[in-house]
Amino acid sequence: MTGPLRITEFTAGFRITVLTLEGVLDLDSYPLLQVRLAGALALHQPPLVAVEVSRLLSADSYGLSVLVAADQHARASGGGMSVCGAGDLLLATFRQRGLDGCLTLHASLADALRDLRPAVGEGD
């Protein structure tokens, strides 16, 4: 059996909230992610969020739908969200479900932070 979902959070430069996910994102754990993402999206305006998933072991459709909803909210609020660090298995899941076309995916956290930075100048 795999471990529960653990989420750590910090604010990077340029008011970007970074959530790091570790463990399993599934039916049992997606409510925790919903709460943490809602907090991250409300922390700064416009909301800028990077979700680092390199330690995520698996994600089911419930968890993935939370990521999509958060991304849509961030964009509708004039901000952005990036998912970064996905390994081959998670990338394949994103592709199979067509999420690579609607989520902004980056290989690393550094890439995600660079991508999110320009959005700050417009809101400050």
Tens-digit pLDDT profile for residues 47-75? 999 999 999 999 999 999 999 999 999 99
Residue 30 falls within a domain, yes or no?
yes
- Does residue 45 lie within any of the structural domains? yes
pTM: 0.91
Does the residue 1 lie in any domain?
A: no
38 within domain boundaries? yes
The CA distances from residue 91 to 26, 38, 56, 113, in Å, are: 16, 24, 11, 19
Count how many domains the chain has: 1
Looking at the predicted structure, is the pLDDT value of residue 26 above 60?
yes
Instruction: Lay out the sheet containing 16-25: strands in order across.
Output: 6-12, 16-25, 48-59, 80-84, 105-106
More confident call, 13 vs 28: 28
14 pLDDT above the threshold of 80: no
Taking residues 110-121, report their average pLDDT.
79
Q: Which domain holds residue 48?
A: 6-118
Query: Does residue 95 lie within any of the structural domains?
Result: yes
Q: In this structure, is residue 65 part of a structural domain?
A: yes
Check pLDDT > 50 for residue 105.
yes
Q: Determine, yes or no, domain membership for 123.
A: no
Give per-residue pLDDT as tens, 70-93. Answer: 999 999 999 999 999 999 999 999
Query: Is 124 within the bounds of a domain?
Result: no
Question: Region 13-41: what's the mean pLDDT?
Answer: 95
Q: Are 34 and 60 in contact (CB under 8 A)?
A: no
What is the sign, positive or negative, of the torsion defined by CA atoms of 87, 23, 31, 113?
A: negative
